[in-house]
Structure 1
Amino acid sequence: MRIEFDGVVVEADGTRILGPLSLTLSERRVAVLGENGSGKSTFLRCLNGLVTPSYGFVRVGGFDTVDEPATIRSHVSLVLANPDSQILMPTIGEDIDLSLATAHRLRHKRPDSRPIPRDARQVLGDFGIRLEPDRAVSTLSGGQKQLVGIASVLATKPQLLLCDEPTTRLDLGWRAAISRLLLELPVPTVIATHDLELASQCERALVIHDGVVAWDGNPAEAIDFYSDLMSRRRTVQYG
């Protein structure tokens, strides 16, 4: 899935939040590093059309996010850091079924539904999740909720997956489990993260600082650059 940023600038109330950005991404796994408020989340939301550029163009798979928002949203899915913001229904099965039905309506552009070819139990089995569809979401741990949130998104078979700090709220064990899942997926994935271990296993890494791409390239070098940048920034603030 080819991603293109062409002279992109995002502004709000006259303040520049992101850009200017001109770059092309085609790697299977891309990490986006940066401190809070740097523009990482805005960068991700440009890819599914939730944020539109004030100037320039964003194209995903050849589709313009402004001119073809419905197509973009039917093929690009976002996983949030907090699964409680992602999961909308009281049980696992109901939430997955809602995702399937919504994706079906978007892609076929019709409110009535022909039979959806998969159900929640099959989706859970596809990802090796040993949880019953009728289990209440309120009984799940944080890691289990994130797993269900990701499964609900993946159930729609997106062509591009976006993840906004998917391991931030997790303990060490669940962080490793979710990272392993994301790294093994066949779908191209862009991951905004503070998790340097996860970033190190991606194919390419961007460091966004003050709304611009300050580094772009090899993940190990990007992590070194980011760590040095944050160290110098903290020295200035607290030294």
Structure 2
Amino acid sequence: MTEPANRPDPGGQEPRAELATATRILARHGMIGMFGHVSLLTEDPGRYLICPGAGRRKDRCRPEDVHELSLDAEFAPGLPLELYMHAAMHRAHPEIRSLVHVHSPNLTALAAMAEPPAELLMLHASFWPEHVPLWERPELVTDHAAGDELVRLTGDSAVALLRWHGAVVTGRTVREAVFRTVLAEYHAGVVLASLAHGRPLAPVPVPRDELYARVLPATTHDMNWRFEGSYVELDD
């Protein structure tokens, strides 16, 4: 099968279109579907955009399907049930413009381990924390207090795991959050494979923040938009 030609980066997308594109890219990767969600803080730091909730096809998300909420908003039908984690993150860390929550298989498998491994096995996953925060409560994040607790646990880590549940991934832009989410799931799979073979692992000899700056400049975060634009474009 011939792949579609790469499309130019759709720069300058207005925020609703940006979030809708992010939602479709994550859906294409199987990162979100019936469950899972992504948000984007607006220019007004008291409000954020979030994709539709469970039961909506994320791979068909359009700008008009995106919800705009205040940080104090409560759940209502049509919204993601766990919107509270997004509100709490954007309230506590407005520099974190985007948060993704996924139930993807490899990240969920790591979240079921007694002590999730923190080894870095991929250059492009150098955002992986040296100590992986783990939310131990066996229930969903369904109120503001729980959202605040999760955010305190996450701290400044780009990834946090939720026991038997999945993960949250953050980014300074929605493009960084999407890029990190796709790579976090891939990296989790590499970690699981490495544990299975049981052979010694070579440590990365460079500090992770230095490696991230070297390997993943901001222009890298646009790659999903450039590479996958034609795959997730919707017909009118």
Normalised TM-score (structure 1): 0.28
Larger Rg: 1
Q: What is the TM-score when the length of structure 2 is the normalising length?
A: 0.28
- The structure with the largest strand share of the pair is 1
